[in-house]
Structure 1
Amino acid sequence: MLNPLRGIPAEFRPAQHLFIFGNGEMAQLGLGVDMLDEIRRPKLHTWFEEAIEEGRLGGAGAGIEKACTGGMHTLVIDEMGRIWSWGVNDNASLGRLTANVPIPDAPGEFFQTEVLETQPMLVQSLVDEGFRAVTVAAGDSISVALDVDGQLRCWGSFRSSDGLLGFDGRLGSAQQQFTPAPIEDFRKEKFISLACGTDHVLALTTDGRVWVWGNGQQAQLGRKIIERRKTNALRPEKLALKKVVAVGSGSYHSFAIDVKGRVFAWGLNSMKQTGVAAEDGGSEDIITAPTEVRALHPDQLNGEKVIQISGGEHHTLFLVSDGRVYACGRSDGFELGIGPVESLQDVNGDHVMSSEDQSHMRAYVAVPTLVAFPPVPTPEEMNPDVPEGPPAIPPINPVSSVHAGTHHNLAVSRAGYVYSWGTGNQSQLGLGNEEEAERPTRLRYKDGDKWFIRSAGAGGQHCIFLATPK
């Protein structure tokens, strides 16, 4: 999602600020070498706060345009279209070197890797080539950026189940790409959006076609990959789908939405995270080719359409045009936000398993299910609970974006509040000492009522959101 305030002169609109929370021991929070602890509730990022005050992000009053989280790294686009990165760089996810980097004013001396990973720094090579970024996406160790002309730059590396897979699969190429690089197959393509799973990428072209590449061991690329030739999956291929308007991804599963509002899913389905019906192949642990999720057809949504999809390791969130949120997949850690699942379904989702069978099975919900949110806060009731009974249609508190982490989630409401739920034992829920939230719960933090939340990101162990002063 682009900055909704972009195009308005900086002096006439508030800058977007960055808030962070979660685990920071691997530099995910970008606060420097002395700030690696967990942050239990959302906290204004002091480095970017100072950068905004000093006009370093695009002049006086300029802030952040876009931000995203990877597994353990973060990417931010400022109002000049420059990308800042921080976090773990073991597999080149930051787009810049963090080892053996000389200090310009001290001949023979080098920056400490910890310093270069724990604080925001520019991806300078993109600045040097005049790449004006408009959006970014990130997986565990892969990062992708899209510029104003629809061109892509990629960096990092992909992993498979047995270790490092590589970057582009070409003979003689390095397995890790430390600086952003174009992809040769895309010389004639222009793109409009991106999505990343743990180790795969989807890129949508201006003419509605979807390219996919990365690790394909769980069919997340929408095609069969021969194990002995799994590096072939690093070469992008185009799906047969046409007239696609949006793409989304979970860790190992993928989605596309076409112009008619039809949702297609493929990839890992071990916890029914694709939402594909049993009669369409949804009883299988892997969906090998794009298959329609018929439960989310506009005919089943009162004519509304799914407009955004975000998945975690074994669950998925679907945002509908009227602000409703549906969820499916794993639910034993409250990933779906629908409260405790009283009865566990069998593989076909058609009967309750015996207690003996349940003892070694996990709970899941196979059919996309409507998630209930608390009402919009009011001066009289700033922290209302989720109402009893079935969720309302249309929703009482419409959502503007959803963001799935590994086992936790964030949702931003149209009213400018952020909610979290699921499981997070490293403070990634942003709810203080709470490690579980059965249902969407509004985040409370210092001076929180003074901020309007615009967008968010859920990483593996950390989360972010962008907000403007009210």
Structure 2
Amino acid sequence: MADSAAPQTADLSRRVVSIAAGEAHTLALTGDGRVYSWGRGMFGRLGTGSEQDEPFPVPVKFEPSGDQPPIKLVGIAAGAYHSLALADDGSVWCWGYNVCILLKISCLLVIVIRSIKAGGMMSLAIDNVGGLWIWGNCPQESSNSNSSSEGGFSLVSSFAPVPVWDLQGGQRVVKVACGNEHVVACVSVGGETTNSKGGGGEEQDLVCYSWGNNNHGQLGLGDRVSRVHPQVVQTSAVYEVSCGAFHTALLSHRTRVSGDDGTNISVCWTFGLGDNGQLGHGTTQSVSSPEPVKDLPNQMYLVSVDCGLFHTSVVSSSGDVWSWGMEKGLGLCPDATFTGTDAGDAALPLPISKFHNPVQVACGAAHTVLVADGGYRLWSWGRGRSGVLGTGNTADSYAPSIVLWPPLSEQNIGDQDGSSKNTDDERLSAAMDEMKLLQSKYTAMEQYAGMLHGLIFGEPFREHEIATSSSWQNPGGGLDVARQWEEMLESADRGKLMKLERLYKGMLGGVKDKLLKKRIQEIVKEINHH
């Protein structure tokens, strides 16, 4: 069980306020305006100045020009192979795409960027007047009459931000998301009334527009015709949106009536590609109109939703996390390997665990990261290659694992400009050596646990089968082996019980033989002594 008490600290440098996940890298933004990255370094997506993989969170160094003050970041976003950061002065910083240095995008107009988003090969920004800007691989009307795309749709490379003129004039874009080739924007029209959010504060009910490639129905418009201009998605009371590669998820308020605890009730709607169960509808069929994920609990409020390449995750205000899609909702794709029988795709929501005070969930191509404990702890699971889970190794994780946070190199560091020298290279090296020692001890304990598990249960130990149910926890917080043994015997068929009987008869016979040999040795020793 991944629940834990929140740390007693108000240190903004250790509090994560936002996370973003790309194809195989992760970004984290702290309360004091710094950005950290880890995972695959190819194309310079980590912003460290190299293409080296990083198994632990490392700081992204932003270098202001001239005598400008240090930069404070207020937003982050991750595409497949690139990253974005938004500074408090409205400037957008970008890195990746085989460029290992930071680039700065400044608008020449008298506007300030307030929000950023990325997905696939495109980037988006919302300005202070609600205007939407887009660059990268942008869905646009094709000027090529021979285009094979329906409706004249094509992807056009734009090397500078361009405005989306269709969403101008009285429509303020509040939130936006994009997949590989489609965009969904949530707009507020004419200052509609607001609805209280589950965790407090105000959240507007928004109207969704979508456009781009629609070959799997990911636009939610009831057909599979691609669009070059935004069209309204027939949903209401939407307050959150996320896009996978070829599917979309929306969160909306169920009704205006609050639950017993004074919070609103949520509905998660999904549409688009369903081949791997990423829609959570219980099938692998694709759908072109929003349909609710019915197997989620009725009386709950969802605080976050995110879509990976072929999986989806949601988090409730009470701390429950559900995932569905490829490989048991873990998103382990496209070449996941398992020991034994593959888990299979999850066509319905699967509970992952319960967390204390969750903040946000982010899904990469094949991994998931969760911010919990009000921002002071990070958990991750899924495919671990390139160190994308931030746990220090590259092993896949079938259950939530704790991310090394705060980073070793930052636990005693002062200002970003290096004014504090409490942490030096020797201290970091010693900490890394300690981590290696702990890792070796963990490996030895894992092998020992495997041996004991085999002796007790008569089958190999598999980490992803560890129970997370609170009913299997003993009062001390550990796993209740006796309870697990009892339930295993109860659920075992006749063949398995006979196999266990033979196993323990053999073990008992071995013990009796050893006892007899020991007794004979003692008698011989006693006779010789006399």
Gaps of at least 5 residues in structure 2 are 1-15, 19-29, 145-153, 190-205, 255-265, 414-530
Alpha-carbon spacing, 1:120–1:225, altered in 2? closer, same or farther (3 Å): farther
Quote how far apart the aligned CAs of 1:82 are: 0.9
CA distance in 1, matches of 2:270, 2:157: 29
- The offset of 1:284, in angstroms, is 4.3
| Post-superposition offset of 1:203 | 0.6
Note if 1:429 corresponds to 2:411: no
Counting only pairs closer than 5 Å after superposition, residues 170-209 of structure 1 correspond to structure 2 as 170-171=142-143, 175-188=156-169, 189-207=171-189, 208-209=206-207
The Cα shift of 1:243 comes to 2.2
Change in Cα spacing, 1:366 to 1:284, as seen in structure 2 (3 Å) is closer
Q: 2:362 aligns with which of 403, 421, 446?
A: 403
Specify the alignment match of 2:6 in structure 1: none
Tell me if structure 2 keeps the 8 A contact 1:270–1:285.
Answer: yes
Tell me the alpha carbon deviations over residues 292-312 of structure 1, each in whole angstroms, 9 at most, x when there is no partner.
11223xxx25x3212321111
Are the counterparts in 1 of residues 311 and 329 from structure 2 also a CA contact under 8 Å? no
- One-letter code aligned to 2:357: P
1:201, distance to aligned residue in structure 2 (A): 1.3
Cα deviation digits, residues 116-137 of structure 1 (max 9, x gap) = x32111113x2x1133111111
Q: Which residue of 1 aligns with 2:231?
A: 237
Shift of 1:143: 0.9
CA contact (8 A) 1:324 1:398 kept: no
**How far 1:4 moved relative to its partner?**
6.5
Q: Structure 1: where are the runs of 5+ without partners?
A: 6-12, 89-113, 159-166, 343-354, 373-394, 452-470
Corresponding position of 1:413 = 372
- Compute the TM-score of the two structures, normalised by the length of structure 1: 0.67
Structure 1 equivalent of residue 52 of structure 2: 37
Please list, as runs of the form range in 1=range in 2, the aligned pairs for 1:4-83 lying within 5 A after superposition: 15-32=32-49, 35-45=50-60, 47-48=61-62, 51=64, 56=68, 59=69, 63-83=72-92
Deviation for aligned residue 1:341:
13
CA distance in 2, matches of 1:55, 1:194: 35
Separation in structure 2 between the aligned mates of residue 370 and residue 14 of structure 1, nearest angstrom:
29
**Where do residues 79-158 of structure 1 align in structure 2 (5 Å cutoff)?**
79-88=88-97, 117-124=99-106, 126=107, 128-158=108-138
Cα distance in 2 between the residues matched to 1:308 and 1:174: 29
SS at match of 1:185: helix
2:48 and 2:292 mapped to 1: Cα distance?
Answer: 43
Match of 2:445 in 1: none
Relative to structure 1, is the Cα distance of residues 424 and 396 closer, same or farther in structure 2, using a 3 angstrom cutoff?
A: closer
- Residue 303 of structure 2 contacts residue 316 of structure 2 at CA under 8 Å; is this kept in 1? yes
Deviation at 1:216, TM superposition (A): 1.3
Give the alignment's Cα RMSD to 1 decimal: 3.1
Report the equivalent of 2:304: 308
> 1:434, 1:24 → 2: CA distance?
14
- 1: CA distance between counterparts of 2:32 and 2:110? 23
Q: Distance in 2 between matches of 1:254 and 1:40?
A: 30
Cα shift readout 1:417-466 (whole Å, capped 9, x = no counterpart): 11111003222122223231111111124146569xxxxxxxxxxxxxxx
Q: Give the Cα–Cα distance (whole angstroms) in 2 for the partners of residues 85 and 15 of structure 1.
A: 20
4+ residue stretches of structure 1 with deviation over 6 A?
A: none
Secondary structure, aligned partner of 2:77: strand
Q: How far did residue 25 of structure 1 move?
A: 2.2
| Equivalent AA in structure 2 for residue 140 of structure 1 | G
Among all aligned residue pairs of Structure 1 and Structure 2, give the percentage whose two residues are the same amino acid: 22
Tell me, in whole angstroms, the C-alpha distance in 2 between the residues paired with 1:409 and 1:429. Answer: 8
User: What is the CA-CA distance between 1:42 and the residue it aligns to?
Assistant: 1.1
Mapped contact 1:225–1:233 kept (Cα < 8 A) = no
- 1:245-265 alpha-carbon deviations (Å, 9 max, x no partner): 211222211111222222211
1:320 correspondence with 2:316? yes
Q: 1:396 to 1:217 in 2, by over 3 A?
A: closer
Distance change in 2, residues 1:333/1:291 (3 Å): closer
Q: Which amino acid aligns with 1:315?
A: H
Whole-Å separation in 1 of the counterparts to 2:322 and 2:355: 15
Residues 38 and 426 in structure 1, CA contact (< 8 A), matched pair in contact too: yes
Answering whether residue 233 of structure 2 is matched by residue 274 of structure 1, we say: no
* Cross-structure match for 2:348: 367
CA contact (8 A) 2:317 2:357 kept: no
Which residue matches 1:212? 210
RCO comparison, higher one (Cα < 8 Å, 6+)? 1
2:185 aligned counterpart, secondary structure: strand
Is it true that 1:251 corresponds to 2:245 in the alignment? yes
CA separation of 1:333/1:237 partners in 2, compared to 1, >3 Å: closer, same or farther? closer
Aligned counterparts of 1:14 and 1:198: Cα–Cα separation in 2: 30
Point out the structure with the larger helix share.
Answer: 2
Which letter maps to 2:113? A
In the alignment, does 2:294 pair up with 1:294? Answer: yes
How far apart in 1 are the matches of 2:389 and 2:155?
Answer: 37
Larger Rg: 2
Q: Which amino acid aligns with 1:80?
A: D
CA change 1:171–1:27 in 2 (3 A) is same
